[in-house]
Amino acid sequence: MIGINKEVEWSDVGPLFRDGQRIMFGGFMGVGTPEGIVALLQEQGTKDLTLIGNDTAAPGTGVGPLISAGQVSRAVVSHIGTNPVTGKKMIAGELDVELVPQGTLAERIRCGGAGLGGVLTPTGVGTVVEEGKTKMVVDGKSFLIELPLRAEVAILKAKRADRAGNLVYERAARNFNPLMALAADLVIAEVDEIVEVGDIDPDHVMTPGALVDKIVLARRP
């Protein structure tokens, strides 16, 4: 891996996106979301996007700007309560929102990355969550069959990367980022620092470079 260099320029990142894509994003309430990539998507007007992630943060943080700009047609998230714009657009019929219990969301993404056909979960049985889903009884207990989630692109935010794409996250900003790296055809990481291969202790690597296709150095304010 010594000769591998996955670093790209910002001018190379924009063409990787197109209208109508499914995009998984790391982040929890905006923390750990690659805001430079989000800003790039907003600037180039990429639209009709399906976003898959934990939440839609707030109007001015995380993926919130894409929601506010009307560039998202569907969101698969665990909650939208912190972003009133998401709620208003959903009620107005301008945005399709699929609310998924947080643990179920994580396992559906993990299934997508592992090539599994789905996951059995008791969460949501007997509630509106089970509408339209297959139920299965195992040892007398009811479960829902939740289907895997995948995307064309995953966008991540990391503190540090080497040129081979091995990633290190900063504390709680790790959150959903490693999970998203498993379940997308193209994985792009926005990082604060890029170092040479060998400069990161292998024990500190949180997402291996084998899962990462492109890295881009975060823009400085």
pLDDT tens, residue by residue, 122-149: 999 999 888 899 999 999 999 999 999 9
Cα–Cα dist 149/117, whole Å: 10
Cα–Cα dist 210/190, whole Å: 16
pLDDT tens, residue by residue, 147-204: 999 999 999 999 999 999 999 999 999 999 999 999 999 999 999 999 999 999 999 9
CATH number for the segment(s) 10-217:
3.40.1080.10
pLDDT at 2: 56
Instruction: Answer yes or no: are the C-beta atoms of 151 and 184 closer than 8 Å.
Output: yes
Asked whether residue 104 carries a pLDDT value surpassing 70, the answer given is: yes
How would you class 206 by CB atoms within 10 Å of its CB: exposed for 0-12, middle for 13-18, buried for 19 or more?
middle
Query: What number of other Cβ atoms are within 10 A of residue 135's Cβ?
Result: 12
pLDDT at 3: 63
Q: What does the pLDDT average to over 78-95?
A: 96
Q: Where are the domains of the chain?
A: 10-217
Instruction: Answer yes or no: are the C-beta atoms of 181 and 111 closer than 8 Å.
Output: no
pLDDT tens, residue by residue, 7-48: 999 999 999 999 999 999 999 999 999 999 999 999 999 999
Query: What number of other Cβ atoms are within 10 A of residue 149's Cβ?
Result: 23
pLDDT at 82: 95
